[in-house]
Amino acid sequence: MSERKRVLFLCTGNSARSQMAEGLLRHIAGDRFDGASAGVAPTSVRPEAIEAMREIGIDISQQHSKSVDDFVGREFDYVITVCDNANEQCPIFPGGTSRIHWSFDDPAAAEGDEPARLAVFRRVRDEIHDRLRQFVSDNRLQSPLSCDMSALLPDQRQSHLANSRELFSQIQEVRELPHGYGFRLATGPDLLVKMAEFVSLEKLCCPFLHFSIEVEPDDGPVWLLLTGREGVKAFIREEISGLLGGVMDWNRA
C-alpha cells in the first residue's frame, strides 16, 4: 500500500540546481520518490546543467522550467529549497509537508569560458548528488520495513492503492496491539469483499505483515488487524498516514 514520497525542489530560476536535483533523485531512487522542481522566478533549463547531467548518464533535456505557483495547493511530503532566495520566498504548502533547506552555489552565476563554467556545474551537481544520497539513506532508516509494489502486476498497483485509500478512510476506531494495530471500519455492503481484495494483494507487496479479519457477534463491527515483527508499528503508521495525506488520528478509540 506504499506510495512514492512526493518531493518538490525549489530554486530561483528552476534552471540548474533544482533541475539537476529532480533528475538525480529520479535516477537514485525513482522507485521510492516522485520528484518535481520549480522556481520562484522561472527562466529556462541551462544547457550546462543538461550537459553536466548527460556526462553521468542522466537525461534532463526534456525537463522544463516551471513556476512554484503551479504547485501551490498540491501536497508534498518534502519541499527542498536549494538556494537562499527560494528559501526566503517559499510559499506555504498544505498537509504535513516537511521543509528542508540546502544552500548550494548558483552555477548559473559562474564566470569564464565554457569549460570553466561547466566545471562549476559539475561541482554543484556532485554536491547535490551527495546530499540526495544521504537524504534517501535517512529515509530508508526511518522505515526499516518497506513495501515492494513491484510484486504486483502493473495494472494492479493503482487499483490497490485506490482500494487501500478507500478502505482506511473508513476507520472508525484504532486499537493499539502489542505487535501492530487493529482498525474498526465503517460497515458497508461490500466491506468484506474490499478487505479480502486488500489482504490478497498486500500479502504480496508486504509479506512481513500478518492479517486478520474479525467480525464481532450479532453482526457487530468488523476489525482489520495488522501485526508483524519489530518495527511494524512505525511502518503501519507511516503507510496509512501517507495514504490519507497525513490526516490520521492515531488516538481514535
Helix (H, G, I), strand (E, B) or coil at 223: strand
**Cell numbers at 132, concatenated:** 540526495
- The torsion angles phi and psi of 181, rounded to 5 degrees, stand at -140, 150
| Radius of gyration of the chain from its Cα atoms, rounded to whole angstroms | 22
Which residues contact residue 110 at a Cβ distance below 8 angstroms, ignoring those fewer than 6 apart? 116, 117, 120, 121
Rounded to an integer, what distance in angstroms lies between the CA atom of residue 199 and that of residue 2? 14
Q: How many helices (H) and strands (E) does the chain have?
A: 7, 8
Contact yes or no for 177/185 (Cβ under 8 A)? no
Annotated active-site residue 90? The verdict is: yes
Strand partners, 33: 5
Q: What is the DSSP string of 87-126?
A: HHHPPP-STTPEEEE-----GGG--SSHHHHHHHHHHHHH
DSSP H or E stretch at residue 166: helix 154-168
Tell me which residues are annotated as active site.
11, 83, 90
